[in-house]
Amino acid sequence: DVKVTQSSRYLVKRTGEKVFLECVQDMDHENMFWYRQDPGLGLRLIYFSYDVKMKEKGDIPEGYSVSREKKERFSLILESASTNQTSMYLCASSSRGTGLSITDTQYFGPGTRLTVL
Amino acid sequence: GESVGLHLPTLSVQEGDNSIINCAYSNSASDYFIWYKQESGKGPQFIIDIRSNMDKRQGQRVTVLLNKTVKHLSLQIAATQPGDSAVYFCAENSHLGGNGGSQGNLIFGKGTKLSVKP
């Protein structure tokens, strides 16, 4: 079974702190993703990576950065946490599609609930 | 922009009944769709997928139907059980990324909450 793990289930930080959220997958997937999930807004893509050291902005990248130094690990960084970044953060991974328009299933981690005070 | 949406935000069914959760998508070029289940406090869990060259796909107690003519996707759960209570999301592939190929991105609907009454 695919396993995607996230470093923390619950995290409480103060405004202005630098926050690191770590995600590790054990299936040698090329693609990794960070989403945030808020009530009424569904899943929104923050950043994704399709290879080591490669990253692309998703729908809401402002206030976030990412790092992909190793294939299995994808980190989300909040440079200076703000209260509007209080949310559930979900990491996912998938293998590269087998064709130009085929997308393989994304597998999700359990989520990190971040509260910024 | 392209979007994926759901007809019903909440659905309440009796244990043992069949459930049908609907989803409309707007990108006619989408060729891959997934249904996810998310229980309270957990990450989304893959249920079933379907590619656009199919109209129907069945799992153990679930069936996904795809109607490309009206851009509609549905998830049918047979003999719904209390353990099926969750939020269900549909998702379609998108084609973000700068190198011309699929990067595995999905666009998610906001979800339908399924409540099963014993």
Domain boundaries, chain B: 4-117
* A23 falls within a domain: yes
- The model's pLDDT over A1-33, given as tens digits with 9 standing for 90+, comes to 669 999 999 999 999 999 999 999 998 998 899
* CB within 8 Å: B109 and A94: no
Tell me how many domains chain A contains.
1
Distance CA B49, CA B33 (A): 6
Which of A 28-87 lie inside 8 A of B, CB atoms?
30-31, 33, 40-43, 45, 48, 50, 56, 58
pLDDT tens for A80-92 read 999 999 999 999 9
Q: In terms of residue numbers, what domain contains A50?
A: 4-92+104-116
CATH number at residue A61: 2.60.40.10
What pLDDT is attached to residue A1?
67
Within-domain flag for A97: no
Instruction: Output the CATH code of domain B4-117.
Output: 2.60.40.10
A99 assigned to some structural domain: no
Range scoring the smallest mean pLDDT among A22-31, A37-46, A62-71: A37-46
| Chain B residue at shortest CA distance from A91 | B43
- Type of residue found at A22: E
CB-based contact, A22 to chain B, within 8 Å: no
Average pLDDT per 10 consecutive residues for chain B, totaling 118 residues: 51 96 86 89 89 90 94 95 93 57 67 92
DSSP B62-113: EEEEEETTTTEEEEEESS--GGG-EEEEEEEE---SSSSS----EEE---EE
User: Which residues have CB under 8 Å from B113's CB, separation 6+?
Assistant: B9, B10, B11, B86, B87, B88
For residue A98, being part of any structural domain is answered with: no
